[in-house]
Amino acid sequence: MGARPDITKAVHNTGRRVLVVSHEPAFPPTSGADLRTYRNAVMADGFGAACLVSVRPKATAMAAADPLIRTETLSIEGEARSASIGWWRMRAEHRVSRAALARLEALVRDFRPDTVVVESIGLFKLLRPLRPLARQLILDMHNVESDLAGQIGDAKTAGSRLAAMAASFGIRRLERKALAIVDRVWVCSNQDRDKLMSLYRRKVPIDVVANGIPNIEDIPQALPTEAATGSGFPVILFIGHLGYPPNVDAAGRLARAIMPRIRQALPGARLVLAGRGPDAAVRALAGLPGVELIENPESVAPLLSGAHLSIIPLHAGGGTRIKILEAMAWGVPVIATPLAAEGLDLIEDDEVLLSATDEGLAEMAIGLCLDTERRARQRLRAHQAVWARFGPQAIRDAIRAGLALDDDGK
Residues 320 and 369 in one domain: yes
Residues 294 and 236 in one domain: yes
pLDDT value for 166: 67
Residues 156 and 182 in one domain: yes
pTM for the whole structure? 0.81
- Specify if 401 maps to a domain: yes
Residues 151 and 223 in one domain: no
Residue from 138, 105, 107, 112 nearest 11 by CA: 112
Q: Give per-residue pLDDT as tens, 373-391.
A: 999 999 999 999 999 999 9
- Specify if 96 maps to a domain: yes
DSSP states along 166-197: HHHHHHHHHHHHHHTT-SEEEESSHHHHHHHH
Residues 45 and 94 in one domain: yes
Number of domains in the chain: 2
pLDDT value for 195: 83
Strands 334-336 and 136-140: unpaired
At residue 365, φ and ψ (nearest 5 deg) are -65, -45
The yes-or-no verdict on residue 318 having pLDDT over 50 is yes
Go through the chain and tell me how many residues it has: 410
Distance (Å, whole) CA 382 – CA 329 = 8
Residue 21, beta-bridge partner list: 53, 118
- Specify if 76 maps to a domain: yes
CB neighbour class for 269 (10 Å; exposed up to 12, middle 13-18, buried from 19):
buried
Q: Give per-residue pLDDT as tens, 75-110.
A: 988 788 888 888 777 778 889 999 999 999 999 999
Q: Give per-residue pLDDT as tens, 8-59.
A: 333 333 589 999 999 999 888 877 788 889 999 999 999 999 999 999 998 6
For all residues of the chain together, what is the average pLDDT?
87
pLDDT value for 162: 62
One-letter amino acid of 240? G
Residues 31 and 16 in one domain: yes
- Specify if 1 maps to a domain: no
At residue 89, φ and ψ (nearest 5 deg) are -145, 155
> Other CB atoms closer than 10 Å to residue 122's CB: what's the count?
25
Helices in 330-391 by DSSP H: which ranges? 358-370, 372-390
Residues 191 and 290 in one domain: no
Sheet holding 206-208, edge to edge: 70-73, 48-54, 16-22, 115-119, 136-140, 184-187, 206-208
| Contacts of 203 by beta carbon, 8 Å cutoff, 6+ apart | none
244-248 long-range Cβ contacts below 8 angstroms, 24+ apart = 244/317, 244/319, 245/152, 245/316, 245/317, 246/151, 246/152, 246/155, 246/314, 246/315, 246/316, 246/317, 246/319, 247/275, 247/314, 247/317, 247/319, 247/320, 248/279, 248/281, 248/282
Largest CA-CA distance found in the chain, in angstroms, rounded: 67
CATH code of residue 36:
3.40.50.2000
- Specify if 238 maps to a domain: yes
Residues 268 and 161 in one domain: no
Residues 166 and 277 in one domain: no
- Specify if 2 maps to a domain: no
Residues 345 and 371 in one domain: yes
pLDDT value for 317: 67
Residues 327 and 399 in one domain: no
- Specify if 156 maps to a domain: yes
Residues 310 and 353 in one domain: yes
Strands 309-312 and 206-208: unpaired
| Contacts of 392 by beta carbon, 8 Å cutoff, 6+ apart | 43, 212, 216
The yes-or-no verdict on residue 240 having pLDDT over 70 is yes
Distance (Å, whole) CA 257 – CA 261 = 7
Distance (Å, whole) CA 153 – CA 112 = 42
- Specify if 334 maps to a domain: yes
What integer is the mean pLDDT of 222-251? 92
Distance of CA 347 to the CA centre of its chain: 21
Residue from 210, 95, 244, 89 nearest 141 by CA: 210
Q: Reply yes or no: is the peptide bond before residue 245 cis, omega within 30 of 0.
A: no
For the chain, how are helix, strand and coil distributed in percent, rounded to 5? 45, 15, 40
Q: Give per-residue pLDDT as tens, 108-136.
A: 999 999 999 999 999 999 999 999 999 99
Print the domain residue range for 295: 217-390
Distance (Å, whole) CA 407 – CA 7 = 10
Distance (Å, whole) CA 172 – CA 68 = 35
